Structure 1
Amino acid sequence: MKGTTTNGLTNGNTNGHSPIRPRLYSVNAPPSLDDFKKLTTQSRPTHYPLAASIEANVPIYDLPDFSELSSDQRSALQDEWYHILLSGPGVFVTRHLYKDRNLLNTVNDVYSRIIEEEKKHSGTRGDHFAGSGANDRIWNSFSKHCLQDAKSFVEYYSNPWLSLISSAWLGPHHHLTAQVNIVKPGAKPQISHRDYHIGFQDNASCAQFPKALQVASQFLTLQGAVAHSDMPLESGPTRLLPFSQMFEEGYMAYRIPEFQDFFIENYVSMPLEQGDGLFFNPALFHAAGQNDSEGIMRSANLLQISSAFGKPMEMIDTYPLVDATWDLLTNMHKEEGFSDKVRAFVGNVAEGYPFPTNLDRRVPETAGMAPENEQGLLIRGLREGWSKERVLKEMQKMRDDSRA
């Protein structure tokens, strides 16, 4: 065997093939800013025929009533969204994601109560990028909303558009978490960044993940935001750099000052109205903007939706959420059957992926290779008319049987 040898291992390749390249990026070899500039300034979006318009490279969709669309039309929308997130600008806007402003205002009141209660118990807290008191933040607004007001929670998370958008990027059994961020007038902007998973680590930690995994990370998460207030440009809606999600070294690049300067010089922002949605690839360079308005409390429910194959940022205990909503869900099912709304809510409130589990106690069904998941359990409970006590007992048994 030819080549230099260290401790019995051959280093390099001398048999006529190209040498093996390092699997890791190096903190000592910064990414090329010129390559980044070319990618983000010379890329042009494909025509998206179902979009109402494209503004500053961002496709904008006017969403009709969900029931108006055939399954083929829904699939065609998903095809466009997938292309946008993968090899297009990386971000799109959905106008009228929530049409009922009364619902959004009710939910805003719920958020206000949660914020005030948390301030009483733990004082004013900061978030990822803002100092204490600059913003109001609710971590795990998903669970807290449910336990504070189950009725509006069911109405809010039974929106079937959420499932259609999420599954376009993540496939089935995705897992939704949410955090509320309210940015006050005068609040400073975030620095440009990428998001969870690898985006929440420093450069030295990031560099330990192989190159292929840095690219693969973006396929585990979809970032979204629902506007809970109107967001004109002066209020600082999210700053976005279209096409930047395609830069493979982006997780190594975004902390470098020259890349941050380029972002500041080239970002775009999209004004939103209450009820609009914004969805983007987590690898897209983005940042919350500066709120220069006189009195707009810029409010968004930030959705972080995870693939069934990934780990979400927050732990969601589904048991108390089903406890709080089962009677409302069964009433909805009695009125609508297994409607898009019912299936959307079940998909958001319960786990759709049955692993990890204990296969000694949870033997897969004969017809498949996986045991039943929580979503399947709830569907079965609705179909068979289970009481709340029955469904909670079955959920607890599933949990107990899943333990090692």
Structure 2
Amino acid sequence: MTTWFTAADCRLEDFRAVCEQKTELTDYPHATDVVDNVLIYPGDLAGTREIQGELIRALRDGPGIVVFTSAFAPAVVDRATAVFADLIEEQKASGVRGGDHFAQPGANDRVWGAIDKFALRDPRAFAEYYDNDTLALVCEAWLGTGYQVTSQVNVVNPGGQAQVAHRDYHLGFMSQEQALRYPAHIHTLSPALTLQGAVAHVDMPVETGPTLYLPHSQKYPPGYIAFHQPSFTGYFDQHHVQLPLSKGDAAFFNPALFHGAGTNRSSAVRRMANLLQVSSGFGRAMETVDRTAMVSALYPVLLDHAGSVDNVIAASAEGYAFPANLDRDQPIDGLAPRTQADLVRQAVAERWDQDRFESELRG
């Protein structure tokens, strides 16, 4: 059994064998259609264990993506769209250019942390929007109860370019070098910790660049390494599928699925989607810890510590970039902002004084 993946484990012929499987409608009795290997479901499914089990199979063992038609009522979507548009205009008026994982800041429009901004701006519209049985059905199927919803509004403007094929959070937000530090069983576990979704806030014909998907690609074990390699992204570019969506449709997919936003070739459509990233409730430490206070107290000691500074930092500082305030700590130079541990290591290496360290630490 593989304990650690290497770049040499990524063989395109093995990837092709996984991705060229066919999705059979007869295997999914509650689906209404298969389009380009993607399962299509109605937006009014009952929340039964049978249906949840079918969705689990679809996301885990099947194509890795399901689309629900008319999952959100158009009037509810329009009310949320108005809130999101106001938030975007306020960002622009204040001079804020939303950083993006792939696009240059300002090329498209993005609202980070949109879920709490939405709730505070218009609680009633929020309640109508998130009182959604389809969302609850698929989230509970994949993650169980106690899941945590986050949301980022993404608007790809006319001319906005396609993203490079990638996998998603957690390991998909890491460089190849970072992902290689995690053992193989963590690569297997990562997709079970989150669910990706996107709600169409406008009609999205293909020319507007709806998301590109490679069905079945989530089943390729070393995929968190492979998506960094040009031969794999080249295969994606040649074999991806792209489904048009209508306003109110919702797509949900396994975060290990190779995917990427498409190029908006329209002349006037600002393609808006509410990107949902739903996390397992298990992604929590047992105790609350004030790590900022810890590293502040430890910093003078670390400056002249004779042993392994890295070991002390690993036991005290926050070594993971998320959850983050992405308005403040935007992932412009990569998929993730700097971690607290990165900051402490830099400060020690550059011999910052305590005042500078405290200022940077507390933002």
Instruction: Give me the CA root mean square deviation.
Output: 1.7
* Number of the residue aligned with 1:393: none
Whether 1:235 and 2:214 are equivalent positions in the alignment is no
* Number of the residue aligned with 1:254: 227
**Partner residue of 2:135 out of 138, 162, 165:** 162
Aligned-partner Cα distance in 2 for 1:240–1:247: 14
* Number of the residue aligned with 2:71: 97
Q: Residue 121 of structure 1: CA displacement?
A: 2.6
State the AA in 2 paired with 1:87: D
State the AA in 1 paired with 2:141: A
Whether 1:34 and 2:8 are equivalent positions in the alignment is no
* Structure 1 runs (4+) greater than 6 angstroms displaced: none
* Number of the residue aligned with 1:75: 49
Aligned-partner Cα distance in 2 for 1:168–1:355: 24
SS in 2 for 1:42: coil
Aligned-partner Cα distance in 1 for 2:232–2:288: 43
How many aligned residue pairs are there? 288
**Partner residue of 1:271 out of 244, 265, 280:** 244
Aligned-partner Cα distance in 1 for 2:168–2:95: 27
Q: Residue 43 of structure 1: CA displacement?
A: 4.5
Q: Residue 75 of structure 1: CA displacement?
A: 2.2
Q: Residue 122 of structure 1: CA displacement?
A: 4.0
Whether 1:218 and 2:157 are equivalent positions in the alignment is no
Aligned-partner Cα distance in 2 for 1:123–1:63: 36
Q: Which runs of 5+ in 1 are unaligned?
A: 1-20, 312-353, 359-404
> Deviations for 1:31-87, whole angstroms, at most 9, x for unmatched residues?
1011001111134446211111111111101123x6xx4x6xx32221111001110
> Deviations for 1:221-248, whole angstroms, at most 9, x for unmatched residues?
0000110010111111110000000000
Q: Residue 30 of structure 1: CA displacement?
A: 4.8
State the AA in 2 paired with 1:38: A
Whether 1:48 and 2:48 are equivalent positions in the alignment is no
Aligned-partner Cα distance in 2 for 1:23–1:233: 41
Aligned-partner Cα distance in 1 for 2:119–2:138: 22
State the AA in 2 paired with 1:77: I
Aligned-partner Cα distance in 2 for 1:277–1:283: 18
State the AA in 2 paired with 1:165: V
TM-score, normalized by length of structure 2?
A: 0.76
Aligned-partner Cα distance in 2 for 1:212–1:302: 27
Aligned-partner Cα distance in 2 for 1:177–1:23: 32
* Number of the residue aligned with 2:181: 208
- Note closer, same or farther for the CA distance 1:22–1:265 as it changes in structure 2 (3 Å cut): closer
TM-score, normalized by length of structure 1?
A: 0.69
Q: Residue 117 of structure 1: CA displacement?
A: 1.4
- Mapped contact 2:23–2:38 kept (Cα < 8 A): no
- Mapped contact 2:21–2:216 kept (Cα < 8 A): no
Aligned-partner Cα distance in 1 for 2:57–2:21: 18
Aligned-partner Cα distance in 1 for 2:6–2:229: 13
Structure 1 or 2, whichever has the larger Rg, is 1
